[in-house]
Each structure stands twice: as C-alpha cells, then as structure tokens.
Amino acid sequence: MMSILEKIKPNAKQNKGKILKIIIVGTGKVGSTLAGKLTDEGCDVTIIDKNREVVDHLAETYDIMGIVGNGSSYKTLIEAGVESADLIIAVTDSDELNLLCCALANMVGKCTCIARVRSPEYTDELNYLCDKLGIAMIINPDLEAAKEISRILHFPSAISVNPFAKGTAELIKFKIPEGSTLNGIQLSSFQRSKDFNILVCAVERKGEITIPNGSFRLYSGDIISFVATPKDALTFFKKINIETHKVGSVMIIGGGRTSYYLARRLVKSGVEVKIIEISAERCAQLSELLPDEVVIVNGNGTDETLLNEEDLLRTGAIIPLTGIDEENVILSLYGMKAAPGIKAITKVNHINFSNVINELELGSVVYPRLITAEMIIKYVRAKKNTIGSEIETLYHMYGGRAEAIEFIVHPEFSQVNVPLKNMRLKSNLLITCVYRGGRTFIPAGDDVLRGGDSVTVVTSHTGLSSIEEIID
C-alpha cells in the first residue's frame, strides 16, 4: 500500500448548471471508460489508483484530478475530497476492496456509493450488502452482459435487444436483409398499417444516423432500431419472414464469470449449453457450480478440429467469452463461415477500435464496460436534475451517437395533459412508447402524458437528464 499521495493535475473544466463531484476508485477498463464518460457529462471527476502511469495518462487526457494511492485508505479518500463528494464509484479488480472503499466513504462522507461486485459468491447477498454497508448500487458487469446475451438469443435475428417499461417494451436493432419486403417502404404508410404495431425510431445508413419522420424510406442494408412489445416484435419479424425461433443450443468459448452467469440463465430457459474451457481446474469448478445439464469440455476453444468435433455445425449459436478480444472476434468470424446461419455473439472488452469491429459484421457485439457505464450515467443524470425527474433506463445507441432514455413523468412537467401533436419537441427526437398502469402503448398525436407515466424517447441529442429537456 502506498502511503504517499500525489495530486497529478487539478480539474480546470468549467460547466454550467449543477456539477456533481465524483470520485472513481480504480482505473481499469471500466474506471477509464467512466472517467471519460462522466467528464463528458459535465462532472467534476477525481480518480484514485496505485498505478502512477495510468493515473497520469487519464488525468492529462481528460483534464481531471488524479491521486496515486490506495482507494480504501481513509487518508486517500480525505485527500480526494470524499467529505464533499456527491458520488464515489469503486471499480477496482477486487470485490472486497470495492465494498470496503464504499463502506469507509459512507462513514466519513455523505456521498452516494456505487460498487462493482462480480463474484458469484456475493450474487445472493447483494441486497444485504447494500443495506448494511449503505451502498446505493452494486453493479455486476459480467451478470449484466449475460442478461444482454440471453435477451439476444430469444430474438436471434436481432443485433441487440434492450428492455424498457419494466420489460413490457423492447428496443430492438436489426439489419434489413437483401430482398426484404421492407425495402423501399415509406414509414408513414408502414406505421399506419394495422399489421405492424411497432415504431421505427432510428436508422443507420452508410454510417449516418437518422431519427426518421413519416416520409423516410427504408432500404436493404439499413440498420434500424424499433420499439415494440415482445409480442408485437415477434409478429413483426414473422410478417417480414425473419427467423423468430429462439436459439435452442449454444457453444460458449471460455469459462469465466460471464459464461457461468449465462449458462445458469440459459439452462433455466431450456437451452442446451456447452462450455469449452482450456483450464482443467476451472472446468472442475464449473462442473460443481453449474447444473448437470451443462456440458463442460476441457480443451482449447481456438482449435478448429475441437470445435468441429464438438458439433459446431449443429449448434444454434457460438458465443466467444474469452478474455482476449482478438480471439473472440476470430472465433465469431470462423463460426459464421463454418456454419452459415449460426448466431454469433461477441464479447469485446476494449472499445478503441469499435468502428473497425462494427464493419466486420460479427452479428451481435456486447461491451460489458459500456453496459456498466450506461447504468452509472443513468444514475448520475437523475442525481444531477434538481427538480427530481427520474431516469429509469438509459441506452447508448450506434456508438453513442443517439440515446434511448426512459423518464418518469412528474406532475410538475410543463406538458402534462398536452396532446403530443401540440408539443414543441426538439428536432431529431421521438416519443416512442408510454407505460401507464401496467400497459405499454405507442402514442399517437392525440395522446397525452400524465403524471406517473414512464415515457421513452429516442434522440440524437445526447446528455438529456430531465424530461423537460425534450421540449424545444
């Protein structure tokens, strides 16, 4: 442990409005991502880590304060300003260190605490830990990645599936294939049709993002995002002749924490699961932790002969979850070439080359660190808003060039009971669905918003923290 603390660089960023002071403990993949994202959100960020080189680099890159030291040290936290901080986020590689850091911060300061906890040993104790240690949120990136992968496997033709409105609505992204009945169709006629109860809310074409209006036409090759209930989404895919059957068998390469969480979820839903793991010791652990229905194979998942011997050609999905991005990418590409029609889901830990990765057509790509960042940014925006508007859900779309945000409508909202057609909404913004009294619907122009509604908007205006901000 380091006893000497060093301030690397003071924060000189100037922001308007309420500025949250946030301390990030740990500058690994998640911590580094958060430092950039939260600085972009206009927060006053301080980072703590023992690695002088990383702290120095991040402090200079984002013009933030960096402290070299132990984040679970009382002296370090005081030096970082924990007594006046609004939020502390502990994302070191140690679950125990993260919990200790939050517990100490909760005792010496009045800040809100968020901890990353990944070990399966704590999965069933999270509520207890939050209550006893005064932690507002515990995030498990591996579990959240497993949930996202599981959702995609239920709609294998989709690139991504994100839930809204307590799971009663979904934001689904998929690519319009060649020869599709959607080619050339105008949204105004398409969305008036009683055959399709969905709302197309964003389109990517040749790298450009559009929040479409009724005159917009869809074409093969477009990557579209639409909102619908799960039932209506299923009907939509069937009517445009897109495969809708959920995947019945998967081959997971790598036996880490995400694989463990995913296998548990898939087995419960009746999916056949096979995990290929190179470490015999880890195979033995997984055999004890997972149900007997999960097949554990000790071998090198990058061995082409082994993959074929384990019936890759007859598997519904290949999911590389190794700790090496390059291996995951190559395995997905190989799986799709060797078994045409197979669903590939690729986990990517680093995001430096996301533009290149997106051009490789890897099927679905899951970024655990971005999932974590979205959850925390949602919390931060809600906390920044002084009038108390609450953000229920937040998703970054198309590499962060658009956002889908679910707001709670408070009675004080200036547009309560105003027909949507009379609202002066920002350009490039759509109200996509409303959740009211257990029912979700896509609103029309005569519909109004009421206090207590959950309303989801999709927009290219990033950074909205209040529903009032949807008004021009």
Burial of 372 (0-12, 13-18, 19+ CB in 10 A): buried
pLDDT reported for residue 194: 65
Give every CB contact of residue 456 below 8 A, 6+ residues apart in sequence: 164, 165, 169, 171, 227, 393, 404, 405, 406, 407, 431, 432, 433, 434, 435
88: which 2 tokens?
A: 């502390």
Count Cβ neighbours within 10 Å for each residue of 226-263 and write b for 16 or more, e otherwise: bbbbbebbebbbeebebeeebbeebbbbbbbbbbbbbb
Contact (CB, 8 A) for 433 and 464? no
- What ranges do the domains of the chain cover? 6-139, 145-239, 249-366, 374-470
pLDDT of residue 353: 63
Fill in the amino acid letter for 437.
G
List 200's β-bridge partners, or say none: 226
Residue 315 reports pLDDT greater than 50? yes
In tens, the pLDDT along 335-380 reads 999 998 899 999 998 766 666 776 777 889 999 888 888 889 888 8
Rounded mean pLDDT, 39-57: 95
> Architecture of domain 249-366 in CATH?
3-Layer(aba) Sandwich (3.40)
* Better pLDDT: 462 or 222: 222
- Predicted pLDDT at 109: 82
Q: Do domains 6-139 and 249-366 have the same CATH topology?
A: yes
Other residues' Cβ atoms within 10 Å of the Cβ of residue 445: 9
Which whole number is the average pLDDT over 432-440? 94
Instruction: Determine which of 120-124, 213-217, 273-277 has the lowest per-residue pLDDT on average.
Output: 120-124
Q: What does the pLDDT average to over 435-445?
A: 93
The answer to whether residue 26 scores a pLDDT higher than 50 is yes
What is the band of 197 on the pLDDT scale with cuts at 50, 70, 90?
Answer: confident
Q: What is the pTM of this model?
A: 0.87
Residues with Cβ within 8 Å of 452's Cβ and at least 6 positions away in sequence, in order, are 408, 409, 411, 436
With a cut of 70, say whether residue 7 has pLDDT above it: no
pLDDT band (50, 70, 90) for residue 1: very low
Query: Alpha-carbon distance 197 to 375, whole Å?
Result: 29
- Residue 441, pLDDT > 50, answer yes
What topology does CATH give the domain 374-470? Answer: Alpha-Beta Plaits (3.30.70)
pLDDT surpassing 60 at residue 6: no
Average pLDDT (440-455) is: 94
Confidence band of 11 (pLDDT split at 50, 70, 90): very low
Mean pLDDT over 213-220 rounds to 93
Four-way CATH pick for 6-139: 3.40.50.720, 1.20.810.10, 3.30.465.10, 3.40.50.2300: 3.40.50.720
Q: Is the pLDDT of residue 180 over 80?
A: yes
Residue 65: predicted pLDDT: 96
Average pLDDT over residues 253-273: 96
**pLDDT grade for 10, boundaries at 50, 70 and 90:** very low
Place 123 in a pLDDT band, splitting at 50, 70 and 90.
confident
Section 316-334 average pLDDT: 94
Structure token digits, residue 320: 């590389």
Per-residue pLDDT band at 296 (split at 50, 70, 90): very high
- Label residue 400 by pLDDT band (50, 70, 90): confident
* d(C-alpha 41, C-alpha 227), whole Å: 26
- Per-residue pLDDT for 16 more than 60? no
Q: Is the pLDDT of residue 309 over 90?
A: yes
Among candidates 3, 73, 59, 1, which has minimal Cα distance to 31? 59
- Percent of the chain whose predicted confidence (pLDDT) is above 70: 93
CATH number of 145-239: 3.30.70.1450
Distance CA 342, CA 352 (A): 27
- pLDDT surpassing 80 at residue 127: yes
- State the amino acid at position 458 in one-letter form: V
In angstroms, the CA 147 to CA 99 distance is: 23
The predicted structure's pLDDT at residue 193: 67
Other C-beta atoms closer than 10 Å to the C-beta of 420 total: 17
Average pLDDT, the chain: 89
Q: What is the pLDDT of residue 17?
A: 46
